Structure 1
Amino acid sequence: MTPILRLDGVSVTYRGEDGPHRAVVDANLTLRPGATLGLAGESGCGKTSLALAVLRLLPRSARVDGTILLDGHDIERLTWGELRAARWTSASVVFQGAMHALNPVRTVAEQIAEPIRLHSPERPAAARVRARVTELLEQVELPGARRDAYPHELSGGQRQRVMIAMALACDPRLIIADEPTTALDVVVQAQVLALLRRLVSERGIALLMISHDLSVLAASCRCLGVMYRGRLVEEGPARQLVATPEHEHTRALAAAFPTIGDEGSRYPGAGEPGESAGGVRGSLLAAEGVSVEFGDRYRNRVRAVRDVDLEVMGDEILALVGQSGSGKTTLARTLLGLCPPNAGTVYYEGRPLATSGRELRAFRGSVQLVLQDPTGALNPKHTVYEAVAEGLRVHGCADDEAVRVREALEAAELRPAEEFTARFPHELSGGQRQRVVIAGALVLRPRVLVADEPVASLDATVRGEILALLLRLRRERGLSALVITHDLGLAWNIADRVAVMRSGEIVETGPVERVLTEPRHDYTKELLAAVPSFEGSVS
Structure 2
Amino acid sequence: MPDLVFDDVSITYRTSGRNDRGEVPAVRGVSLTLPAGGTLGIAGESGSGKSTLAMSVLRLLPKSARLDGRVLIGDTDVAELSFGRLRAVRWAEASIIFQGAMHSLNPVRTVGQQIIEALELHVAEKWKTEKARKARVGELLHAVDLPAAKADAYPHELSGGQKQRIMIAMALACEPDIVVADEPTTALDVIVQKQILDMIGRLVTERGISLLMISHDLSVLASVCERIAVMRGGELVEVGESVMICTAPNHPYTQQLAAAFPEIGDPASRMNPATNRAPVDIDPETVHEYVPGEADVVMEAKDLTVTYRARGTWLRAVRGVDLTVHRGEIVALVGQSGSGKSTLARTLVGLQQPDAGSTVRFRGTDLPRRGASLRAFRHDVQMVLQDPSAALNPKLSVYESVAEGLRVQHYRGDERERVLQALTDAELTPPEKYVNAIPQELSGGQRQRVVIAGALAVGPQLLVADEPVASLDASARGEILSLLLSLRRRLGLSALVITHDLGLAWNIADTVAVMYEGEIVEYGPTEQVLLSPQHPYTRTLLSAVAAIEPRA
Q: TM-score by structure 1 length? A: 0.97
* C-alpha separation in 1, matches of 2:67 and 2:314: 55
After superposition, the C-alpha distances for 1:246-268 in whole angstroms (9 at most, x for unaligned) are: 10011000001101011112243
- Contact 1:269-1:471 within 8 A present in 2 as well: no
* Structure 1 position 512 matched with structure 2 position 515: no
Q: Residues 538 and 159 (structure 1 numbering): CA distance in 2 closer, same or farther, change over 3 Å?
A: farther
Give 1:319's aligned residue.
332
After superposition, the C-alpha distances for 1:112-169 in whole angstroms (9 at most, x for unaligned) are: 1111111115682111110000110000001111110000000000000000000000
Give 2:114's aligned residue.
111
* C-alpha separation in 1, matches of 2:453 and 2:419: 8
- For residue 4 of structure 1, report the CA deviation from its aligned partner: 2.1
- For residue 3 of structure 1, report the CA deviation from its aligned partner: 4.6
Amino acid at match of 1:430: G
* Structure 1 position 385 matched with structure 2 position 415: no
Give 1:83's aligned residue.
86
- RMSD of aligned C-alpha atoms? 1.8
After superposition, the C-alpha distances for 1:237-292 in whole angstroms (9 at most, x for unaligned) are: 1112222111001100000110101111224399x995279x98121011110100
- For residue 71 of structure 1, report the CA deviation from its aligned partner: 2.7
- Contact 1:406-1:417 within 8 A present in 2 as well: yes
Amino acid at match of 1:420: Y
* Structure 1 position 173 matched with structure 2 position 177: yes
- For residue 180 of structure 1, report the CA deviation from its aligned partner: 0.3
SS of corresponding position for 2:313: coil
* C-alpha separation in 2, matches of 1:180 and 1:110: 22
* C-alpha separation in 1, matches of 2:119 and 2:272: 53
Give 1:53's aligned residue.
56
- Contact 1:276-1:479 within 8 A present in 2 as well: no
1:333 to 332, 339, 346: 346
After superposition, the C-alpha distances for 1:193-240 in whole angstroms (9 at most, x for unaligned) are: 000000000000110110001111111111111111111111111112
Q: TM-score by structure 2 length? A: 0.94
- Contact 2:41-2:227 within 8 A present in 1 as well: yes
SS of corresponding position for 1:455: coil
Give 2:509's aligned residue.
495
- For residue 457 of structure 1, report the CA deviation from its aligned partner: 0.7
Q: Residues 3 and 159 (structure 1 numbering): CA distance in 2 closer, same or farther, change over 3 Å?
A: same
SS of corresponding position for 2:52: helix
Q: Residues 401 and 537 (structure 1 numbering): CA distance in 2 closer, same or farther, change over 3 Å?
A: farther
SS of corresponding position for 1:333: helix
Spell out the pairing of 1:132-281 with structure 2 (5 A cutoff): 132-268=136-272, 274-275=287-288, 281=295
Amino acid at match of 1:46: G
Give 1:11's aligned residue.
10
- Contact 2:71-2:78 within 8 A present in 1 as well: yes
* C-alpha separation in 2, matches of 1:393 and 1:114: 50
Q: Percent identity?
A: 59
- For residue 352 of structure 1, report the CA deviation from its aligned partner: 1.1
- For residue 426 of structure 1, report the CA deviation from its aligned partner: 1.5
Amino acid at match of 2:46: S
After superposition, the C-alpha distances for 1:49-99 in whole angstroms (9 at most, x for unaligned) are: 000011110001111111111132100110011111100011100001101
* C-alpha separation in 2, matches of 1:225 and 1:202: 24
SS of corresponding position for 1:241: helix
* C-alpha separation in 2, matches of 1:269 and 1:205: 37
* Structure 1 position 355 matched with structure 2 position 366: no
- Contact 1:276-1:477 within 8 A present in 2 as well: no
Give 2:541's aligned residue.
527
* C-alpha separation in 1, matches of 2:289 and 2:521: 29
Larger CA deviation: 232-241 vs 513-522: 232-241
Q: Residues 448 and 528 (structure 1 numbering): CA distance in 2 closer, same or farther, change over 3 Å?
A: same
SS of corresponding position for 2:62: coil
After superposition, the C-alpha distances for 1:29-65 in whole angstroms (9 at most, x for unaligned) are: 1112221111101111000000001111000111111
Unaligned runs of 5+ in 2: 275-283
Aligned length: 534
- Misfit runs of 4+, over 4 Å: none
* C-alpha separation in 1, matches of 2:504 and 2:419: 29
Q: Residues 400 and 282 (structure 1 numbering): CA distance in 2 closer, same or farther, change over 3 Å?
A: same
* Structure 1 position 23 matched with structure 2 position 26: yes
* C-alpha separation in 2, matches of 1:274 and 1:512: 21
- For residue 427 of structure 1, report the CA deviation from its aligned partner: 1.7
Q: Residues 217 and 276 (structure 1 numbering): CA distance in 2 closer, same or farther, change over 3 Å?
A: closer
Amino acid at match of 1:312: V
Amino acid at match of 2:11: V
Larger CA deviation: 29-38 vs 79-88: 29-38
